[in-house]
Structure 1
Amino acid sequence: MKIKIMKPGAAVTMECEEMKAEEMFKDFTAKMLGIERTGKDGRSRKQAAPVSTPQANKPVPSLVKTPEIAPAQAAAEGAGSSDHKNSDAHSGFLYIKCDHCGAERAYCQKAPSEYSICKRCGSRTYFTEPLKQILLSCECGQRSRYLTNMTDDMFDIQCIDCGSPVAVKYNQKSKRYETIR
């Protein structure tokens, strides 16, 4: 049986036997709710209520790469036309890597645009080459389709539904990125 703990930007899955998984689930639930649990011997095992201490607020290393977001920008992400040559305007779900800082992000571009504005550094990444298609199939059943400017042979994308990382690899034959099974 699997135990999975998720939060936006990170997920951990652990395989264990059914009885142990059930016990762990009860312990986690009791700990989160700050309630008292009784052990097999009948004694009460008091769970402390969650306490906010400076040590508890330390950032935990993330298992999934999450992009940092820059302060509010004056120019909003939207339809934009420029005089940049060899550009194509794209809309829909895009997974774009910033040419300036290397930050990756997935978003929905509602109106056709010839560039993407990075949320981390604020620079524009122009679509100078044709974008490649990504077909993503997560274990949770979510299927997604993106266009990307990535050139890596293989990379991970977070599932839009459950947040788990999904590995994709470029398929030379079909000329698109596909989920690694």
Structure 2
Amino acid sequence: SPPTPELKTAAMNWMNRSNPAAKLLAASALLFDPKYQGTVKLDLQQLRSHPDARIRNLAATQLWRLELPDRKVEAATLVSWQDSIHSLPRELRGGPYFLLGEGRRLRRQHDLAAMALLWVPLVYDHDYQISALACLNAADSLKAIGRNDEAVALYHEVVVRYGQSTYAQDAAQILKTLQSDQAESGTSQNP
């Protein structure tokens, strides 16, 4: 989703700083803004060779985000992402696990997608909205491979644990549909 006007204003200020962490934050916020994408992409590419491993690795993982909208994430790329995540400090792995899960969903590797996505709400849950979305997308992946009981549990988790998130209503609607489908199939099986 696009940044709020306040975040966009702050990010434009960060972009002009020499501090690499500020540039990284600016790039993260403005990466999909057509006006700034070229500039922040170049900043991220330069930060990938920064001496601080945290800056270097986070810049690389921000660039992963550009591969998802094109739906052209190769299987080998996902293996590389997995390896990169393991080299990150634990406290920085949440966002990269989310991206790995989304990449696996695009490749229809739903079981692996769910495993990657569930790291976010289970271990790296400091971002409420991303945790809710990761849980919802993990449920969708499990549903896609017929693991409906597990999917229902995760949809319920989104509704209960992340009830104030923007994704709780989606999860509630899916639960309602699943329950309705289940009730209909139960009645059609009983004469």
TM-score with structure 1 setting the length: 0.22
Q: Which has the higher helix share?
A: 2
Larger radius of gyration: 1
Q: Which has the higher strand share?
A: 1
- Greater RCO, CA 8 A, separation 6+: 1
TM-score with structure 2 setting the length: 0.21
